[in-house]
Amino acid sequence: MLLLSLLLYSTALNGLIETPAQAQIERIEESTPQYLYKVLSIEDWLASQEDNHLHLSTADDDFIHFSMKDQVSRIVRKYWADVPEFVILKISTKNLPGNFVFEANPGGSSKYDHLYDGEIPIEAVEEAEILTR
């Protein structure tokens, strides 16, 4: 269950990338949200179309990194700022194989959902938005 503590905010790019005034979502239980987000290279996205699961980068070798909607803009600014084209995926977590853990990245303090011992079937992708700069 999520408790939404909404502050004034505005969104761009169909609500996926938030502008500086951010919505703040506080997680009060460690249950996995119904939807999480994954940013993927255009190359991995295109390669995934020929398979039954998503092709991921080596950054996802130990576990698969996910973001909640309010965390996507931070991830894009930090890791995708210089990438001219990428894909933001809305993933249904309902039937993902593996074990979700809500935790901070090694050396970090912000918590994210990580999927251990799993993969992302292509059927779990609810929405895909290709962003080009």
Give the total number of structural domains in the chain.
1
65 pLDDT above the threshold of 80: yes
Burial of 91 (C-beta count, 10 Å sphere; 0-12/13-18/19+) = buried
In a domain, 5, yes or no: no
* DSSP H stretches of helix in 8-125: 42-48, 72-79
In a domain, 15, yes or no: no
| CATH code, domain with 55 | 3.20.170.20
In a domain, 23, yes or no: no
Tell me the per-residue pLDDT of 18-43, one tens digit each, with 9 for 90 and over. 433 333 344 545 688 999 999 999 99
In a domain, 41, yes or no: yes
Q: Do 133 and 85 touch, CB atoms closer than 8 A?
A: yes
Q: Whole domain around residue 77: which residue ranges?
A: 30-132
In a domain, 46, yes or no: yes
In a domain, 122, yes or no: yes
In a domain, 1, yes or no: no
How many alpha carbons fall within 13 Å on the CB side of residue 27?
A: 16
Q: Determine the pLDDT at residue 8.
A: 24
Separation between Cα atoms, residue 97 and residue 27, nearest integer Å:
22
Please state the rounded mean pLDDT for residues 122-129. 96
Tell me the per-residue pLDDT of 66-124, one tens digit each, with 9 for 90 and over. 999 999 999 999 999 999 999 999 999 998 999 999 999 888 888 999 999 999 999 99
**Other CB atoms within 10 Å distance of the CB of residue 116:** 11
In a domain, 55, yes or no: yes
